[in-house]
Amino acid sequence: MTIKQLKAKYSGSKLGIWWTIVTPLILAASINFIFNEIFKINIPNYTLLVLSGIIPWMFFSNAISEVTNSFIVNIPILKQAILPRELIPLSNVLANFLVFLIGFSITLPLFIIFNLRVITVFLFLIIPLSFLLIFIIGLGFIFSSFNVFSKDLPHFLSIGLMIWFWITPVFYSIDMLSFPYRWICLLNPLTYYVIPCQVILFEGRLPPPLTVGISFLISLFFFIIGYLFFIKKEPQLLKRI
Q: Residues touching other proteins: how many (CB under 8 A)?
A: 19
The region of 150-158, 182-190, 198-206, 229-237 touching other proteins under the rule CB under 8 A is 229-237
SS3 168: coil
Closest distance of CB 78 from other proteins, Å: 7
The region of 20-28, 57-65, 74-82, 211-219 touching other proteins under the rule CB under 8 A is 74-82
Where helices occur in 69-125 by DSSP H, the ranges are 70-73, 75-80, 87-114, 118-121
SS3 74: coil
Taking CB under 8 A as the criterion, the residue among 29, 83, 113, 176 binding other proteins is 83
Closest distance of CB 69 from other proteins, Å: 15
For position 29 contacting other proteins by CB under 8 A, the verdict is no
The region of 3-11, 36-44, 46-54, 101-109 touching other proteins under the rule CB under 8 A is 3-11
CA distance 182 to 52: 20
CA distance 87 to 99: 18
Taking CB under 8 A as the criterion, the residue among 72, 78, 161, 206 binding other proteins is 78
Q: 195, 29, 18, 17: which is closest to 110 by C-alpha?
A: 29
Taking CB under 8 A as the criterion, the residue among 1, 27, 98, 127 binding other proteins is 1
Q: Which is nearer to other proteins, 7 or 117 (CB)?
A: 7
Q: Which is nearer to other proteins, 90 or 199 (CB)?
A: 90
Q: Do the Cβ atoms of 203 and 122 come closer than 8 Å? A: no
For position 76 contacting other proteins by CB under 8 A, the verdict is yes
Q: Do the Cβ atoms of 234 and 241 come closer than 8 Å? A: no
Closest distance of CB 62 from other proteins, Å: 20
For position 82 contacting other proteins by CB under 8 A, the verdict is yes
For position 119 contacting other proteins by CB under 8 A, the verdict is no
For position 150 contacting other proteins by CB under 8 A, the verdict is no
SS3 150: coil
The region of 6-14, 34-42, 140-148, 153-161 touching other proteins under the rule CB under 8 A is 6-14
Amino acid at 63: A
Cis bond upstream, residue 180 (ω within 30):
yes
Q: Do the Cβ atoms of 219 and 66 come closer than 8 Å? A: no
* Cβ within 8 Å of residue 45, ≥6 positions away: 114, 115, 202
Q: Which residues are at the interface with other proteins (CB under 8 A)?
A: 1, 4, 7-8, 11-12, 76-83, 234-236, 238-239
